[in-house]
Structure 1
């Protein structure tokens, strides 16, 4: 299971994330070595029993990676980062760079998600990144979006998320809490900043393995 040198392991809970991150790599980091591990059962159990229920499985996956790991599931990110020391590897949750930018943008943050299990970990992450600065977090569940995504209707999911973004008015920034929501960032018509996690998360994780920054610096962190 050990990966080669100068590679990054990405731990996903849906195979739909694999082409998304490969496309970002090809656009911004040509030549970077990515290795994908997909474990959909982890999210299903975490949603039913809580994120702590997958601790043992996560520890095993992280320890066996042989490289730094980018965890692309927001629900599992906090647990995974807490296991880095025990697993003997560096771990980054994909939404941490996005959260850092969100709290720099303004104190009124609206978090959109398609599954409720994402809200608590995301709110905790925002508070951690705010480091005592003023912060007001509101959470909004996008009805029916996860069901569309799980059924293979990604465009329907993203359209629903975009409509939910457009309905937000009283905020400084809108955060799309899950990596699967990222395409809605480009679809939404709103004057508010809208942040998603895949691009800044991949940028930050590749820095862990010493890969050069994005080929198009102006796109990083979008």
Structure 2
């Protein structure tokens, strides 16, 4: 299966390249459209013209491949619409939702999932996505919450990626310390994953990430 990534932040190019190291998987291209994320952030929503711009970015990217993997949650409502129309686009946070709910179902009764996000514009798209997967996978018995980690996204928007990772690690550690009753924790945005390397909490290794779920999906794709 040939595929390309569509990112809204340049740092995701390195992230998704690294997670595929050691496998035989490589994208045809990484397309970065930071202007689209900037527009969503400025407007606080996806209006008609912006939706058309996002749709064109997706359809242009998919022209020469079997599938486009969209790594930006904030742009994801347009991907959902296009996928419903038959466009070969997959949300990488959707791959995460599928994987973590499958594991939660296998773990038995009492499972509870909390999805952590950093960007305010991703809260509702992420909630909608995970609620849909929970219903479609028959996982209504799995508790679900989406939690916005305060203050960290402003650091990212300021361009301080190292500060962003440090602030995220601190916020993730604080959440894990206060949430011992949560069986599954996931980071809803791809850009959040690298912060786990700075985490000091022993449960950090058990946190689910978009990049990890994407690697598992791609590696398994030729075995299906």
Q: Above 0.5 in TM-score?
A: yes
Q: Distance in 2 between matches of 1:59 and 1:202?
A: 25
1:159 match: 166
**Unaligned 5+ runs, structure 1:** 1-5, 214-222
2:151 match: 144
1:129 match: 133
1:127-183 deviations in Å (ceiling 9; x for gaps): 122124224333332233222223332222122222222222132222211100001
- SS of the equivalent of 1:14 reads coil
The worse-fitting range, judged by mean Cα deviation, of 185-194 and 34-43 is 185-194
Contact 2:72/2:189 (8 A) holds in 1 = yes
1:39 maps to which of 27, 33, 36: 33
1:39-86 deviations in Å (ceiling 9; x for gaps): 112222223241354321122122222121000001222321321354
Structure with higher helix content: 2
1:8 maps to which of 3, 18, 24: 3
1:196 match: 209
RMSD: 2.5
1:78 match: 77
- SS of the equivalent of 2:28 reads strand
Q: Distance in 1 between matches of 2:162 and 2:24?
A: 27
Contact 1:52/1:79 (8 A) holds in 2 = no
Q: Distance in 2 between matches of 1:135 and 1:50?
A: 29
Segments of 4+ moved more than 4 angstroms? 205-208
Query: How many aligned residue pairs are there?
Result: 204
1:217 match: none
Q: Distance in 2 between matches of 1:19 and 1:126?
A: 26
Q: Distance in 2 between matches of 1:108 and 1:167?
A: 18
